[in-house]
Structure 1
Amino acid sequence: MRAVHFTDTYLPRRDGVVTSLRTLAAALTTAGHPGLTVVPRHPDQPDEPDVLRLRALPCGVADLRLSPWLLRGAAATGTIAEIAAVGPDVVHVHTPGPVGLLGVLTARRLGLPLVQTYHTDLHAYADAYRVPARALSAGVRLYARRLGVPRPAAAPASHARDHRPMASGAVARRRAAMDATNTLLLGGADAVVVPTRAVLDRIHLPVPAERVHLVPTGVAPRPTTPRQINDFRYGHGIAPSDRVVLYVGRVNREKGIELLISAFEQVLAGCPNARLVLVGALYEPRWLAGLLRLADPRVAERVTLTGQQPPEVVAAAYGAAEVFAFPSRTDTQALVLQEAGLAGVPVVLVDRALHAHGALAGAAVCADPDPGGLATGVLRLLLDPDSARRIAAAAAGRAAAHTPARYAEAIAEVYASAVGLASRFNARGRTRS
Structure 2
Amino acid sequence: MHFTDTYLPRRDGVVSSIRTLVRALADRGHPGLTVVPRHPGQTGEPDLMRLRALPCGVADLRLSPWLLHGGAAAGTIAEIAASAPEVVHVHTPGPVGLLGVLTARRLGLPLVQTYHTDLHAYVDAYKVPTRALRGAVRLYAHRLGVPRPPVRPEPAPGGAAPSRQAPAASHRRAALDATNLLLLGDADAVVVPTRAVLDRISLPVPDDRVFLVPTGVAPCRTSPTEVAAFRAGNGIAPTDKVILFVGRVNREKGVDLLINSFAELLAGCPRARLVLVGAIYEPRWLAELLRLVGPAVADRITVIGQQPPPVVAAAYGAAEVLAFPSGTDTQALVLQEAALAGVPAVLVDPVLHRHGPLAGAADCAAPTTTGFAAALLRLLTDPAAARRLGQLAADRAAGHTPERYADAICDVYAHAARRHAQVARRQAEWAGRPGPAQPVGAFGRLSDRGRTRR
TM-score category (smaller protein)? over 0.9
SS at match of 1:325: strand
Pair 1:47 & 2:40 matched: no
Shift in Å at residue 385 of structure 1?
A: 1.0
Distance 1:86 1:417 in 2: 22
Pair 1:302 & 2:300 matched: yes
Pair 1:92 & 2:89 matched: yes
Q: 2:334 is aligned with what amino acid? A: V
Distance 2:166 2:334 in 1: 34
Pair 1:7 & 2:4 matched: yes
Partner of 1:78: 75
Q: 1:100 is aligned with what amino acid? A: G
Alignment: residue pair count: 423
Distance 1:266 1:193 in 2: 40
Distance 2:167 2:306 in 1: 37
Pair 1:228 & 2:223 matched: no
Q: 1:304 is aligned with what amino acid? A: T
Distance 1:67 1:237 in 2: 41
Partner of 1:115: 112
Distance 2:155 2:243 in 1: 40
Pair 1:200 & 2:198 matched: yes
Distance 1:179 1:428 in 2: 28
Trace 1:408-423 onto structure 2 (pairs within 5 A).
Answer: 408-423=406-421
Pair 1:426 & 2:424 matched: yes
SS at match of 1:250: coil
Q: Percent identity over the alignment?
A: 71
Partner of 1:126: 123
Distance 2:40 2:386 in 1: 43
Distance 2:71 2:91 in 1: 23
Partner of 2:144: 147
SS at match of 1:429: helix
Partner of 1:171: 169
SS at match of 1:79: helix
Q: 1:92 is aligned with what amino acid? A: H
Trace 1:244-323 onto structure 2 (pairs within 5 A).
Answer: 244-323=242-321
SS at match of 1:428: helix
Distance 2:68 2:92 in 1: 18
Q: 1:23 is aligned with what amino acid? A: T
Distance 1:156 1:113 in 2: 32
Distance 1:378 1:116 in 2: 36
Partner of 2:186: 188
TM-score normalised by structure 1 residue count: 0.96
Contact 1:108/1:432, CA 8 A, preserved across alignment:
no
Partner of 2:384: 386
Partner of 2:212: 214
Distance 1:216 1:375 in 2: 29
Contact 1:329/1:351, CA 8 A, preserved across alignment:
yes
Instruction: Extract unaligned runs of 5+ from structure 2.
Output: 157-164, 429-439, 443-454
SS at match of 1:315: helix
Contact 2:190/2:210, CA 8 A, preserved across alignment:
yes
SS at match of 2:227: helix
Shift in Å at residue 168 of structure 1?
A: 3.3
Shift in Å at residue 15 of structure 1?
A: 0.2
Partner of 1:372: 370
Range with greater deviation from structure 2 (334-343 or 168-177):
168-177
Contact 1:59/1:65, CA 8 A, preserved across alignment:
yes
Contact 2:153/2:173, CA 8 A, preserved across alignment:
no
Given the alignment, which residue of 57, 60, 64 partners 1:67? 64
Given the alignment, which residue of 325, 333, 336 partners 1:335? 333
Shift in Å at residue 19 of structure 1?
A: 0.1
Distance 1:72 1:119 in 2: 27
Shift in Å at residue 156 of structure 1?
A: 6.5
Distance 2:322 2:418 in 1: 42
Shift in Å at residue 297 of structure 1?
A: 2.7
Q: 1:107 is aligned with what amino acid? A: A
Partner of 2:445: none
Instruction: String of CA shifts for 1:5-39, please: whole Å, max 9, x gaps.
Output: 00000000000000000000000000111111000
Contact 1:155/1:179, CA 8 A, preserved across alignment:
no
* CA separation of 1:158 and 1:320: change in aligned 2, threshold 3 A: farther
Instruction: String of CA shifts for 1:48-69, please: whole Å, max 9, x gaps.
Output: 1111011111112111111110
